Amino acid sequence: MGVVVRRAARKPSTAGGLFATDFEATILPVGKTVYVVDDDPAILKAVKRLLKAHALDAEVFESAEDFNERADPRGALCLVLDIHMPRADAFGVLGFLRERPEIQMPVVILSGSMPPINVDQALRLGAAACFDKPAHFAGLITLVQTIHDRWLAK
């Protein structure tokens, strides 16, 4: 599948005057921590190490439930989310975030395999981008750095 990024028109943000120009969900809260949710400990470790190597903090969660219980999304730069997890999947987390308009952050979906219908559904629910794992970790870093740089520029 490769990389899918949803493009959106410029729109004002409700979070301090920032503007989304490339990613509809780019309404950046204060913070540089990237939240990572994946049920695979090896992926969590790899993504955390990769983010740290690029001067970004990462907080990891082993399940959607763990994320929903412990995370304060208002302090995160973005959320990197595995699409397939036991009990609650990425679609459930996207729905949870969509129901809470006070929590707005870019969400990047990772998947070992994702049919186009799931990509479409993830983008409709608010994901900013979808990446295959692990092949597109470089693209993931580029996207997260772009989000970070735009936040710092404002």
What does the pLDDT look like over 64-76, one tens digit per residue?
889 888 888 777 8
Domain span at residue 121?
23-153
CA pair distance 120, 142, nearest whole angstrom:
22
Which of 3-12, 32-41, 84-93 comes out lowest in average pLDDT? 3-12
88-102 pLDDT tens trace: 888 888 888 888 877
DSSP state of 29: P
pLDDT beyond 60 at 151? no
**Strand partners for 26:** none
Domain count, the chain: 1
CATH of residue 143's domain is: 3.40.50.2300
- Give pLDDT, residue 54: 82
